[in-house]
Amino acid sequence: MSKHTLTHTHRLRRSVRAIAVGAAIVGGAVALPAAPALAQPITIPGVGTFDVPGLPGVPGAPGAPIAASHGQRALDAAQTKLGSPYVWGATGPNAFDCSGLVQWAYRQAGVSLPRVTYDQVNGGAPVSKADLQPGDAVFFYGAEHVGLYAGGGMVVHAPTEGQPVKRAPLDSMPFFAARRY
């Protein structure tokens, strides 16, 4: 009977090993097209060590995706509203004023911002014009107007009555301050 138990345990270990190796191979094959050619070792206890290209999704591994910042997610949301009408006091989702657009966009990113520019300019962390990153709130005309920095010297904003939400050059308005939320 002990010989039968030993054989059964040996078969079970081989089966588990085969499943683990198969999963590692399939996982590597699925990840391979999106991964760079660099290989990283992965060790499966009791099975062995294998070189798996890229290991996407593992923080710090080559090719690992980087989570988008709150600002980037807010910018992405704001850009879905390009062309939406400007309406003074509107906070979306179909019409916006400048601070309403910024507040709505950040809400989509899971961040609560104050409603008006004068309160928005006092929140977040100050950012210099030289250090702007996509999604930073950018204030103009002494904090009477706000938009979201879109990168490349551009800003997404709800300009004024009769003009829809649009992209415009950052330097087309007098810069006052910027905040990162």
Whether residue 158 sits in one domain with residue 90:
yes
- Tell me the pTM: 0.65
User: What number is the average pLDDT over the span 5-20?
Assistant: 50
pLDDT tens digit sequence for 26-37: 454 444 444 444
Catalytic site includes residue 157: yes
Residues 16 and 93 placed together within one structural domain of the fold: no
d(CA 151, CA 154): 6
Assess whether 7 and 92 both reside in one domain.
no
Distances (CA, A) of 170 to 38, 88, 104, 111, 122: 39, 22, 21, 24, 20
4 is catalytic: no
- CA dist 55 and 43 (Å) reads 13
The domain containing residue 21 runs over which residues? 2-53
Least confident of 65-69, 87-91, 122-126, 137-141: 65-69
Q: Please check whether residue 82 lies inside any domain of the structure.
A: yes
As for how many domains the chain has, the answer is 2
Is 8 a catalytic site residue?
Answer: no
